[in-house]
Amino acid sequence: MRINMFLFLLLIALGGNAQPRSYTVGNAHSHNDYEQDRPFWAAYEAGFGSVEADVFLVNGNLPVAHNAGDIRPGNDLKSRYLEPLKACIQKNKGSVYADRHKRLNLLIDCKTEGRATLAAIIDVLKQYPEITGNKRIRVVITGNRPHKDSLFMYPAFIWFDGELTNKYTGRNLARVALFSANFRNYAQWNGAGTPDAASEAALQQQIRYAHKLGKPIRFWGAPDTENAWKTFQRLGVDYINTDKIAELSQYLEANRF
One DSSP character per residue, 155-193 reads: -TTEEEEE-TT----HHHHTTEEEEEEEGGGT----SSS
Instruction: For residues 216 and 19, give the distance between their C-alpha atoms in angstroms, rounded to a whole number.
Output: 9
Instruction: For residues 69 and 90, give the distance between their C-alpha atoms in angstroms, rounded to a whole number.
Output: 35
- Give residue 68's identity as a one-letter amino acid code: A
Secondary structure class of 69 (helix, strand, coil): helix
202: Cα separation from own chain's centroid? 21
Q: How many residues does the chain have?
A: 257
Terminal Cα-to-Cα distance of the chain (whole angstroms): 35
Choose the final residue of a domain: 89, 120, 144.
Answer: 144
Same domain? 105 vs 202: no
Q: Does some domain include residue 25?
A: no
Instruction: For residues 172 and 174, give the distance between their C-alpha atoms in angstroms, rounded to a whole number.
Output: 5
Q: Does some domain include residue 178?
A: yes
Q: Does some domain include residue 234?
A: yes
Instruction: For residues 63 and 238, give the distance between their C-alpha atoms in angstroms, rounded to a whole number.
Output: 29
Cβ contact 136:104 at 8 Å: yes
Write down the pLDDT at residue 14: 40
Same domain? 128 vs 171: no
Same domain? 135 vs 38: yes
Write down the pLDDT at residue 256: 75
Instruction: For residues 32 and 64, give the distance between their C-alpha atoms in angstroms, rounded to a whole number.
Output: 10
Same domain? 174 vs 231: yes
Write down the pLDDT at residue 11: 36
Instruction: For residues 137 and 127, give the distance between their C-alpha atoms in angstroms, rounded to a whole number.
Output: 15
Same domain? 135 vs 49: yes
pTM over 0.85: yes
Same domain? 93 vs 166: no
Q: Does some domain include residue 10?
A: no
- Containing structural domain, residue 198: 158-252
24: Cα separation from own chain's centroid? 15
Per-residue confidence of the chain (257 residues) as pLDDT tens digits?
444 444 334 433 443 444 566 899 999 999 999 999 999 999 999 999 999 999 999 999 999 999 999 999 889 999 999 999 999 999 999 999 999 999 999 999 999 999 999 999 999 999 999 999 999 999 999 999 999 999 999 999 999 999 999 999 999 999 999 999 999 999 999 999 999 999 999 999 999 999 999 999 999 999 999 999 999 999 999 999 999 999 999 999 998 76
User: Domain tally for the chain?
Assistant: 2
Q: Does some domain include residue 20?
A: no
Choose the final residue of a domain: 86, 111, 144.
Answer: 144
Q: Does some domain include residue 44?
A: yes
Cβ contact 163:183 at 8 Å: no
